[in-house]
C-alpha cells in the first residue's frame, strides 16, 4: 500500500514537474520563435540586396518590345517579324505574360521599377521555400542549408522569364513539402502550371518535379493500401490536371511540346561553344580552368547537398551502433533473477510515450525513424545537379531545387536530434539559441559583404549595386542612329544581343507591318542552328579578310553594321580597313558602319578620327572619366587590330586619339589604373621597333622615346594595382622585347602567384611557368662588386647588360659615379638605363647633378625626355625649347618636341618641329620618322 502511494505520488510529482517545465519554457519558445522570424527577415534582406544590381542583360529589350506590341494590339506573336532572314517562320513566344508584365512596369517606373519587381518576386519565392518545412525543423538549419545555393542563385537574378520560373518552381516545392498531410494543396498546381506555360519555356520542370513526388509516394511503405486511396484520388486528379494545363497556351499542343523542340535546337555545338551561358561546366573548366570563384561555390553547393544525405545516414548508423552496445552492456549488468522476472506492461512503452510527448511538444506528429532518405529529394538533387552541368544558364533552377533539398535534409535531421533530446529530458529551456545567433551573424556578415562590394570583388564579378542600367553597356544611341532616316532598312550587329536594342527602337510598329529588321538576334529558338552558323561564318570571314563577307553583305542588301568595343573590336577594325565600308559613328561603346554606296550618310556622318584629336568636337567627345576610359580602350583595340592588317597609318591615328583620352583621365585622377594602363598600351602600339637589347646602345629618340614612356606608364599602373593581370602582361612584353631579364623575374613571380581565369591568362601562365627556370638560372651568376679601372667597369657593365641584368648594371654605375662627381658620358649612359627601367625621377637626379656637360643643349633635351616620360608637357616643352635655342640643329630636341606637340593636339607646332627634325636628321630612319609626323599633322597645321 505504501509502495502504491509512493508510486502515485511520484507520478503526480513528475506530471507536475513536466507541466511546470512546459509552462516555464513557453516564454522561451515564444522568444525563439520571434528570433526565427528575424532570421527569415535577414535572409530575405540578403536575397533582396543580391538582386539589386545594374541591368546588363541585352535580351531584355526584345522582350520589352514584344510586350509593348502585345499590349497595343492584343496579339501574341505567331510568326517572326523582327528579322529579314526568318520573317514569316513560326515563332512560339511562351514568354508573353512576362513580356506584358515588364512592359507595364517599365512604362510606369522604368528599369528601377523592374529591378524592384524582380527582387520582390525572388524574395517571395524564397519565403515560400524557407517556410516549406515541418514545424519541428529549425529555421536556422533551413537558412544555413540554403546560403551557398543563394549565392549561386544570385548569379542569374536577371530581369528574365526565369525569375517567374523561380516563383512557380517554389510554389511546386512548397506544395510538395506539405502534400503528404494536405493532399488538397495539389490543386494549387494546375493554375500555377497554366501561368508557367505562358511565362517561360522551362514550364516542363513543373510536371517533372511533380512526377518525382508521385514516384516517391508510390515507393513508400503502404503506399497502395486502402487508407491511402483517398490521398491518391486527390493527388492523381490534380497531377492529371497539371499535365493538361500545359495545353492551355496560345499554341496548344505545339506550345506544350515546345521544350522538346527547344532542346533539339540548343544541342547545336555552335551555340554551346560560342555563347557563354550555354557552355557546359566541363567545357567551361577545360577552357578557363578551375579557378573561377562562382564555379567553386557551385561545386560547394553540390558537395553540401550531397553531405545533407550522407551526414544524417552516418550519424544514424553511429547512433544505432552505440545503442546496440548500450543494450548489450545493460543486459550483462542484470542479475539472473532480474533477467527472468516478468514485468507488467509492454517493454518500451514509456520510451515510446516519451517520444510521442516530445513530438507533441514540438508541435508535430512523431515520425518513424526520425530522419529517412527521401526518394523525391534524391531524384531532385540528382536531376538538377546534372542539369546544371549541361549549361551554366541552368544554375538558377539548380540553386532553387538543390538549396531547398539541402535545407530540408539538414533541418529534418537537426529537428529529429532535437526531438530526441527532448524525449531524453536533455534539452535546455534555451535550446537552439546559439545556432540562431551564429546564423544571424553569418547573415549580417554577408549583407555587409554584398553592400560594400567586397563579395563581388572576391567573386571576380564586375557587378555593381544599383537600380538602373549599367553605364556604358547598352549602345542605345548607336542603335537609334543605325535606324534613322536615310540609313539602311536592314541591320547586323556583332554582339548578337545588341540586335535587341535595334528591335526595340525600329522594329515594325505592328506584327507583320513595315519596319526595319535585323539579320539575326538573341532568340536562338527562332534563329536556329543554320542561320546562326551563317552569322558565325560572316564574323569569321570578316576577321580573316575573306572576300566572301563583302559578297554576303551585298546579298543581304548592304545593311548597317554595329560592333561593340568590348568583344568585337577585331570585326570593327577589319570593316574599317576594308575601304568600302565607312565608320559613321564611333562612341565610347560601339561603332556603326555603312557601305560607301550610302553617299549622303557617309558625306554627313563619316568619322574623322584625326580631327577628333586635333580639332575636338564637344558634341561627340566622351563625357566623364568612365566614358573616356571606355573610348580609349575601344580605340586602342581597333589600333592593335589595324596594325595586324597593315593599316599602320590608320592605327597611329586611332592610337593618338586613344592616348589623348587616357591622358585626360590621369590628369583628372593621377591614381587611375585604367588611365595609366591605357597610356602604356597606346605607347607600346606606337613603338613598332623589332625586339632588341636596346639598353646596350646609346639613346635614340626614334627607337627609345615611346618605349621609355610606355615603361613608366605601365610601372605606374603596376604600383597602383600590383596584381592586375593585363598590367603584368604588358610589363612582361616590355622587358622581354628589350631583353631586360632582371626586372622581368618579379613580374614572372607575380604572374605565377595568380590563378588564371580565362584562356589568355592560362596561356600566359603556362608560358611563364616554362620560362621561369631558365631565367632563374640565367640571373643566378654572382654579382661583381669590385673593379680595377674604368675599362674593367665598362666590361662588367656590358656583361651584365648582355645577360639582361640591367638593374645590377645600374647599381655598378651608380656606385662608381655618385651624383655631381660623374662625367657626362657616365651620366648619359646611366640616365638612359634608368629611363629604360621607367625611372625618370632617378635619371633626372643624375642629369641635374652634371656640372660640366660639354653640350648643355643635349642635357636639356634629356631632361625634357624625363619630363615627357612623366607626362609633364609644359616642363618638357620649355626644356626642349632651351635645347633648340642653344643648338638649333639638335635633331633629338626637334623630334622630341614634335612628338610632344602631336600628342598635345597642337598640329602647327608639331608640323614645324617635325619639318625641322627631318632637315637635321642624321640618317634615313630618323628622317622618315620625322616626315611621318609631319604627314600625319599636315592637314591640321594651317
Contacts of 708 (CB under 8 A, 6+ apart): 835, 836, 838, 840, 865, 869
Quote the pLDDT of residue 942. 77
Quote the pLDDT of residue 318.
Answer: 82
Give dist(CA 335, CA 381) in Å, integer: 52
Would you state the cell numbers that stand for residue 743, as one nine-digit string? 626586372
Beta strands in 364-509 (DSSP E): 490-494
Percentage of the chain lying above the pLDDT 70 cut: 91
Q: Residue 930 above 60 pLDDT?
A: yes
Q: Give the span between the Cα atoms of 912 and 886, in whole angstroms.
A: 18
606: Cβ contacts below 8 Å, ≥ 6 apart: 582, 583, 584
Is a pLDDT exceeding 80 seen at residue 376? yes
Examine the pLDDT at 332 and tell me if it is beyond 60: no
Helix (H, G, I), strand (E, B) or coil at 490: strand
| Range from 4-8, 238-242, 893-897 carrying the lowest mean pLDDT | 4-8
Q: Provide the terminal-to-terminal Cα distance of the chain, rounded to the nearest Å.
A: 128
Q: What value does the mean pLDDT take over residues 314-329?
A: 75
Instruction: Decide: 122 and 47 in contact? Cβ < 8 Å.
Output: yes
pLDDT for the residue 25: 54
In angstroms, the CA 529 to CA 535 distance is 10
Question: Mean pLDDT throughout 159-170?
Answer: 96
* C-beta of residue 742 within 8 angstroms of C-beta of residue 807: yes
Asked if 165 and 199 count as a contact pair (C-beta separation under 8 A), the reply is yes
Residue 333 predicted with pLDDT over 70: no
Residues 6+ apart with CB under 8 A from 49: 447, 450, 451, 465
Query: Grid coordinates representing 796?
Result: 662588367
Any idea which of 256-265, 419-428, 451-460, 878-887 has the lowest mean pLDDT? 419-428
Please give the average per-residue pLDDT across 646-664, as a whole number: 93
Mean pLDDT of 357-386: 68
Phi then psi for 615, rounded to 5 degrees?
Answer: -135, 70
| The three cell numbers locating residue 266 | 540548343
Q: Report yes or no: 634 and 585 within 8 Å, Cβ to Cβ.
A: no
Rounded distance between C-alpha atoms, residue 712 and residue 726, angstroms: 15
pLDDT for residue 924 is more than 60: yes
At 511, the pLDDT band (50, 70, 90 cuts) reads low
Identify the residue with better confidence: 572 or 429.
572
Instruction: Tell me how far apart the alpha carbons of residues 276 and 281 are, in angstroms, rounded to a whole number.
Output: 10
**Which residue in the block uniquely carries the three cell numbers 497502395?**
224
What confidence tens digit (pLDDT) does each residue in 723-767 have?
A: 899 999 999 999 999 999 999 999 999 999 887 877 788 888 899
Helix axes 161-178, 205-218, angle to 10 degrees: 20
R_g of the chain computed on alpha carbons = 37
Kind of pairing between the strands at 490-494 and 517-518: parallel
The answer to whether residues 478 and 583 touch, using CB atoms and an 8 Å cutoff, is: no
Mean pLDDT value of segment 147-156 = 95
CA distance readout (Å), 453 to 49, 354, 390, 585, 655: 11, 51, 30, 35, 34
What is the average pLDDT across 83-101? 95
Residue given cell 545516414 in the structure block: 313
Residue 764 C-alpha cell reads as: 600566359
Q: In whole angstroms, how far apart are CA 798 and each of 690, 739, 794, 811, 835?
A: 21, 13, 6, 13, 17
DSSP state of 488: -
pLDDT band at 499 (very low <50, low <70, confident <90, very high): very high
pLDDT-based confidence at residue 603 (cuts at 50, 70, 90): very high
pLDDT at site 608: 95
304-325: burial string, b at 16+ Cβ within 10 Å, e else? bbbebbeebeeebeeeeeeeee
Residue 13 has a pLDDT of 46
d(CA 467, CA 118): 11
Mean of per-residue pLDDT scores for the chain: 88
Helix spans in 646-780 (H): 648-668, 673-686, 701-720, 725-737, 741-752, 759-778
Does residue 146 contact residue 403 with C-beta atoms inside 8 Å? yes
- Per the model's pLDDT, the better-predicted residue between 277 and 539 turns out to be 539
The Cα–Cα gap between 671 and 669 comes to: 5
Nearest to 819 by CA among 802, 843, 840: 843
SS3 category, 592: strand
- Tens-place pLDDT, residues 19-62: 444 444 555 677 888 999 999 999 999 999 999 999 999 889 99
pTM of the model: 0.87
- Name which of 19-23, 303-307, 627-631, 672-676 the model is least confident about: 19-23
Amino acid at each position: 500500500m505504501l509502495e502504491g502511494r509512493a508510486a502515485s505520488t511520484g507520478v503526480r510529482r513528475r506530471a507536475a514537474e513536466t507541466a511546470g517545465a512546459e509552462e516555464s519554457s513557453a516564454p522561451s519558445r515564444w522568444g525563439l520563435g520571434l528570433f526565427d522570424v528575424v532570421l527569415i527577415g535577414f535572409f530575405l534582406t540578403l536575397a533582396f540586396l543580391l538582386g539589386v544590381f545594374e541591368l546588363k542583360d541585352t535580351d531584355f529589350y526584345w522582350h520589352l518590345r514584344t510586350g509593348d506590341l502585345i499590349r497595343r494590339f492584343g496579339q501574341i506573336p505567331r510568326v517572326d517579324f523582327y528579322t529579314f532572314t526568318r520573317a514569316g517562320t513560326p515563332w512560339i513566344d511562351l514568354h508573353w505574360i512576362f513580356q506584358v508584365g515588364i512592359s507595364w512596369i517599365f512604362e510606369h517606373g522604368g528599369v528601377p521599377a523592374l529591378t524592384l519587381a524582380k527582387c520582390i518576386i525572388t524574395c517571395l519565392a524564397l519565403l515560400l521555400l524557407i517556410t516549406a518545412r515541418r514545424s519541428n525543423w529549425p529555421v536556422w538549419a533551413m537558412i544555413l542549408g540554403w546560403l551557398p545555393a543563394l549565392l549561386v542563385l544570385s548569379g542569374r537574378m536577371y530581369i528574365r522569364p526565369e525569375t517567374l520560373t523561380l516563383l512557380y518552381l517554389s510554389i511546386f516545392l512548397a506544395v510538395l513539402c506539405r502534400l503528404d498531410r494536405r493532399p488538397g494543396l495539389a490543386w494549387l498546381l494546375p493554375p500555377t502550371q497554366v501561368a508557367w506555360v505562358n511565362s517561360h519555356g522551362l514550364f516542363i520542370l513543373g510536371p517533372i518535379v511533380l512526377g518525382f513526388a508521385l514516384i516517391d509516394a508510390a515507393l513508400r511503405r503502404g503506399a497502395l493500401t486502402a487508407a491511402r486511396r483517398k490521398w491518391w484520388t486527390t493527388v492523381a486528379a490534380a497531377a492529371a490536371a497539371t499535365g493538361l494545363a500545359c495545353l492551355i497556351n496560345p499554341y496548344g499542343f505545339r506550345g506544350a511540346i515546345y521544350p522538346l523542340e527547344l532542346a533539339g535546337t540548343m544541342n547545336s555545338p555552335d551555340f554551346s561553344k560560342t555563347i557563354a551561358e550555354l557552355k557546359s561546366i566541363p567545357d567551361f573548366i577545360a577552357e578557363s580552368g578551375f579557378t573561377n570563384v562562382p564555379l567553386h561555390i557551385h561545386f560547394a553547393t553540390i558537395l553540401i547537398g550531397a553531405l545533407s544525405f550522407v551526414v544524417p545516414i552516418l550519424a544514424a548508423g553511429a547512433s544505432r551502433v552505440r545503442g546496440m552496445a548500450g543494450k548489450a552492456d545493460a543486459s550483462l549488468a542484470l542479475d539472473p533473477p532480474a533477467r527472468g522476472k516478468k514485468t507488467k506492461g509492454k517493454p518500451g512503452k514509456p520510451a515510446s510515450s516519451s517520444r510521442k510527448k516530445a513530438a507533441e511538444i514540438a508541435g508535430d506528429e512523431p515520425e518513424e525513424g526520425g530522419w529517412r532518405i527521401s526518394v523525391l529529394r534524391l531524384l531532385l538533387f540528382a536531376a538538377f545537379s546534372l542539369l546544371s552541368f549541361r549549361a551554366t544558364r541552368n544554375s538558377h533552377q539548380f540553386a532553387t531545387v538543390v538549396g531547398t533539398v539541402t535545407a530540408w535534409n539538414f533541418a529534418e535531421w537537426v529537428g529529429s536530434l532535437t526531438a530526441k533530446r527532448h524525449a531524453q529530458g536533455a534539452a535546455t529551456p534555451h535550446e537552439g539559441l546559439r545556432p540562431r545567433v551564429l546564423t544571424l551573424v553569418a547573415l549580417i556578415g554577408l549583407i555587409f559583404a554584398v553592400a560594400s562590394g567586397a563579395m563581388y570583388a572576391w567573386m571576380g564579378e564586375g557587378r555593381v549595386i544599383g537600380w538602373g542600367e549599367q553605364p556604358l553597356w547598352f549602345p542605345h544611341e548607336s542603335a537609334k542612329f543605325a535606324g534613322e532616316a536615310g540609313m539602311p532598312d536592314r541591320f547586323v550587329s556583332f554582339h548578337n544581343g545588341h540586335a535587341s536594342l535595334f528591335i526595340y527602337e525600329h522594329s515594325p510598329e505592328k506584327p507583320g507591318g513595315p519596319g526595319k529588321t535585323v539579320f539575326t538576334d538573341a532568340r536562338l529558338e527562332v534563329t536556329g542552328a543554320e542561320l546562326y552558323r551563317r552569322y558565325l561564318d560572316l564574323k569569321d570571314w570578316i576577321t580573316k579578310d575573306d572576300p566572301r563577307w563583302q559578297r554576303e553583305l551585298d546579298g543581304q542588301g548592304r545593311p548597317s553594321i554595329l560592333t561593340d568595343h568590348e568583344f568585337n573590336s577585331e570585326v570593327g577594325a577589319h570593316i574599317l580597313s576594308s575601304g568600302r565600308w565607312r565608320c559613321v559613328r564611333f562612341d565610347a561603346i560601339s561603332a556603326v558602319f555603312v557601305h560607301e554606296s550610302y553617299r549622303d550618310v557617309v558625306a554627313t556622318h563619316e568619322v574623322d578620327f584625326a580631327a577628333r584629336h586635333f580639332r575636338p568636337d564637344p558634341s561627340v567627345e566622351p563625357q566623364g572619366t568612365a566614358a573616356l576610359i571606355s573610348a580609349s580602350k575601344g580605340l586602342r583595340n581597333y589600333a592593335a587590330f589595324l596594325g595586324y592588317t597593315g593599316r599602320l597609318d590608320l592605327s597611329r591615328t586611332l592610337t593618338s586619339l586613344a592616348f589623348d583620352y587616357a591622358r585626360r583621365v590621369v590628369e583628372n585622377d593621377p591614381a587611375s589604373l585604367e588611365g595609366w594602363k591605357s597610356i602604356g598600351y597606346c605607347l607600346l602600339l606606337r613603338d613598332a621597333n623589332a625586339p632588341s637589347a636596346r639598353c646596350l646602345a646609346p639613346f635614340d629618340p626614334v627607337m627609345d622615346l615611346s618605349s621609355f614612356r610606355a615603361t613608366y606608364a605601365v610601372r605606374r599602373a603596376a604600383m597602383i594595382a600590383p596584381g592586375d593581370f593585363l598590367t603584368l602582361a604588358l610589363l612582361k612584353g616590355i622587358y622581354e622585347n628589350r631583353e631586360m631579364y632582371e626586372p622581368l623575374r618579379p613580374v614572372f613571380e607575380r604572374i605565377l602567384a595568380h590563378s588564371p581565369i580565362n584562356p589568355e591568362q592560362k596561356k600566359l601562365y603556362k608560358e611563364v611557368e616554362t620560362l621561369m627556370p631558365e631565367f632563374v638560372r640565367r640571373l643566378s651568376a654572382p654579382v661583381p662588386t669590385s673593379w680595377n679601372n674604368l675599362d674593367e667597369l665598362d666590361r662588367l657593365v656590358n656583361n651584365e647588360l648582355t645577360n639582361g641584368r640591367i638593374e645590377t648594371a645600374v647599381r655598378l654605375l651608380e656606385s662608381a659615379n655618385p651624383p655631381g662627381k660623374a662625367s657626362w658620358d657616365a651620366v648619359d649612359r646611366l640616365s638612359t638605363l634608368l629611363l629604360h627601367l621607367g625611372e625618370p625621377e632617378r635619371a633626372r637626379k643624375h642629369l641635374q647633378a652634371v656640372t660640366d656637360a660639354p653640350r648643355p643643349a643635349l642635357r636639356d633635351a634629356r631632361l625634357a625626355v624625363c619630363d615627357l616620360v612623366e607626362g609633364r608637357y609644359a616642363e618638357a616643352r620649355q626644356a626642349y625649347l632651351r635645347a633648340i635655342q642653344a643648338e638649333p640643329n639638335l635633331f633629338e630636341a626637334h623630334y622630341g618636341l614634335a612628338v610632344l606637340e602631336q600628342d598635345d593636339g597642337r598640329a602647327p607646332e608639331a608640323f614645324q618641329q617635325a619639318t625641322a627634325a627631318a632637315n637635321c636628321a642624321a640618317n634615313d630612319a630618323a628622317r622618315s620618322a620625322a616626315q611621318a609626323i609631319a604627314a600625319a599633322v599636315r592637314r591640321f597645321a594651317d
